[in-house]
A = this chain, B = another copy of it.
Amino acid sequence: MSELIERLAAGLPAEAVLTDPDVVRSYANDMAGFCPAGAPAVVVLPRTVEQVQHVMRTANALRVPVVPQGARTGLSGAANATEGCVVLSLVRMDRILHIDPVDRIAVVEPGVVNATLSRAVAEHGLFYPPDPSSWEMCTIGGNIGTASGGLCCVKYGVTAEYVLGLDVVLADGRLLTTGRRTAKGVAGYDLTRLIVGSEGSLGIVVRATLALKTAPPRQLALAAEFPSADAACDAVCRIMAAGHTPSLLELMDRTTLRAVNDMTKMGLPETTEALLLAAFDTPDPGPHLEAVGELCTAAGASQVVPAEDAAESEMLLAARRTALTALEAVKGTSMIDDVCVPRTRLAELLKGTAQIAERHGLTIGVCAHAGDGNTHPTVCFDPSDEDEARRARLSFDEIMKLGLELGGTITGEHGVGLLKKSWLAEELGPVSLELHRGIKQVFDPHGILNPGKVF
């Protein structure tokens, strides 16, 4: 037994230390494609803060890299193992410690699954908005690591906006407490937000205090069919300019619709070029939906179909939630971009993406959180076709370049991980990058926390 494993085992229960090579190898990857992963030396599954501190103290003493993991549903390779690392899986720290309807907070451990928390707070009439497509699997710790989003963001924002305070085990094992349990608080630098989205590179989140909202009424949706992506994007701009605040505003292009139909047999319209889903969760959504329907028609929609009720609305949403999985099935694998542009530039991004697909002879389906300008152009390719895989990677990068040219960002909600590391430098520029490195050095002087990720 290596010194590393021996010292880890000295402070952990036997069942919390996995060393079987096959088992350990199964923890090597998250769900991103094109990202290298090494073989972990060991996987640890602590249940307490003290155990996490023990892991970090040990790894720090031996200068062994530590890769924190949640459910490994990430799409950027941030949770991929590095050769010889300790994989620190937080999935067994999965307790909801406190839910308070007056303070409207939940205190949770990082391994709580997003959907579990959402259902638990719903029992108190409360609402935890962030809803990544993987919400039935992904963990709150992972959501915090990547500052992930979802369908709700156009009205409710991303994970970051719901994190009030954190307990974080630092690289050297010390415990840092950030933020607050109060509704407001501005004491000192905002270390909470610095940790959120840092993809495990600054510390290990072991507890989070989350802000909750009152549960809104169930949302009511409409679907609008457009003869072109341009017209659908025009509708998005008209809807936002008119002052509406939908609870979701999603776009699926024809490739996506067909893929979803192939997978789910839902019978979505395949002749249309772009389908827009809009929903409202206000007490009286009817007039909003009617106004949005009229704006869609004015922008050129060929058909506007309001859902009959909340159940039918939920079905439309379910279609949208399966989009990425369905696109992956088209050719066996896919690369999912996450470019976010100002809403006013959305049409240009979609047009440019179509041109990139054509130039490379590729299928690129686009689904988008259109109300946020956050698109997921998804490059479908056969991984066994080497040239197609090369062109897929090229097109993936060209889409990010286009996003930056349009005043956007390379990642709206999936994070940087390994996949977009070189593009992050492009987006941030050298001054910002230097400050990033300086901050990393302050938190993790020996560079053991998720090394080689983000920047």
**1/0 per residue A271-294: CB within 8 Å of B?**
000000000000110000000000
How distant is A83 from chain B, measured CB to nearest CB, in Å?
25
Please state the number of chain copies in the assembly: 2
Residues of chain B within 8 A of A237, CB atoms compared: 102
Residues of chain B within 8 A of A185, CB atoms compared: 340, 408-409, 411-412
Q: Is the beta-carbon distance between B177 and A429 smaller than 8 angstroms?
A: yes
How distant is A9 from chain B, measured CB to nearest CB, in Å?
27
9-residue interface stretch from A18-26, A43-51, A353-361, A435-443: A435-443
Q: Is the beta-carbon distance between A343 and B190 smaller than 8 angstroms?
A: no
How distant is A10 from chain B, measured CB to nearest CB, in Å?
24
**1/0 per residue A68-105: CB within 8 Å of B?**
00000000000000000000000000000000111111
Q: CB-nearest residue of chain B relative to A238?
A: B102
Say which residue of B186, B190, B442 sits within 8 Å of A442 (CB atoms). B442
Q: CB-nearest residue of chain B relative to A103?
A: B342
How distant is A325 from chain B, measured CB to nearest CB, in Å?
21
- Residues 424-453 of A at the B interface (beta carbon under 8 Å): 424, 427-429, 431-432, 435-436, 438-439, 441-443
| Cα distance A247–B340 in the bound complex, in angstroms | 31
Say which residue of B175, B240, B438, B442 sits within 8 Å of A435 (CB atoms). B442
Q: Is the beta-carbon distance between A372 and B183 smaller than 8 angstroms?
A: yes
Residues of chain B within 8 A of A436, CB atoms compared: 188-189, 191
Q: Is the beta-carbon distance between A187 and B101 smaller than 8 angstroms?
A: no
Q: CB-nearest residue of chain B relative to A179?
A: B409
Q: Is the beta-carbon distance between B196 and A190 smaller than 8 angstroms?
A: yes
Q: Is the beta-carbon distance between A190 and B197 smaller than 8 angstroms?
A: yes
How distant is A410 from chain B, measured CB to nearest CB, in Å?
6
When A241-B101, A435-B176 are in contact, do A187 and B424 touch as well, CB less than 8 Å? yes
How distant is A34 from chain B, measured CB to nearest CB, in Å?
18
Q: CB-nearest residue of chain B relative to A203?
A: B435
Q: Is the beta-carbon distance between A189 and B197 smaller than 8 angstroms?
A: yes
| Cα distance A243–B283 in the bound complex, in angstroms | 14
Say which residue of B102, B178, B283, B409 sits within 8 Å of A343 (CB atoms). B102
Q: Is the beta-carbon distance between A435 and B191 smaller than 8 angstroms?
A: yes
Q: CB-nearest residue of chain B relative to A407?
A: B181
- Residues 23-66 of A at the B interface (beta carbon under 8 Å): none
Residues of chain B within 8 A of A409, CB atoms compared: 180, 182, 184-187
Residues of chain B within 8 A of A431, CB atoms compared: 170, 174-177
Residues of chain B within 8 A of A105, CB atoms compared: 342
Instruction: Check A215 for interface membership: any CB of B closer than 8 A.
Output: yes
Q: Is the beta-carbon distance between B190 and A427 smaller than 8 angstroms?
A: no
Residues of chain B within 8 A of A161, CB atoms compared: 161
9-residue interface stretch from A111-119, A152-160, A308-316: A152-160
Residues of chain B within 8 A of A153, CB atoms compared: 183-184
Instruction: Check A131 for interface membership: any CB of B closer than 8 A.
Output: no
Q: Is the beta-carbon distance between B341 and A160 smaller than 8 angstroms?
A: no
Q: Is the beta-carbon distance between A186 and B415 smaller than 8 angstroms?
A: yes
* 26 residue pairs bridging A and B, Cβ less than 8 Å apart: A102-B342, A125-B243, A147-B186, A153-B183, A180-B340, A182-B341, A182-B342, A182-B372, A182-B374, A182-B407, A182-B408, A182-B409, A183-B343, A183-B374, A184-B373, A185-B340, A185-B409, A186-B413, A186-B414, A187-B409, A187-B410, A188-B427, A190-B197, A191-B432, A191-B436, A435-B443
Contacts A102-B241, A184-B412 aside, 17 further interface pairs with beta carbons under 8 A come to A102-B240, A102-B342, A160-B186, A160-B190, A175-B431, A176-B435, A177-B429, A177-B431, A182-B412, A186-B416, A187-B420, A188-B436, A188-B454, A189-B198, A190-B190, A190-B194, A283-B284
Which residues in A have some Cβ–Cβ distance to B below 8 Å? 100-105, 125, 146-149, 153-154, 158, 160-161, 170, 174-178, 180-191, 193-194, 196-198, 202, 213-215, 237, 240-241, 243-245, 283-284, 340-344, 369, 371-374, 407-416, 420, 424, 427-429, 431-432, 435-436, 438-439, 441-443, 454-455
State the 4 A-B residue pairs at the shortest beta-carbon distance, nearest first: A438-B442, A193-B193, A185-B409, A183-B372
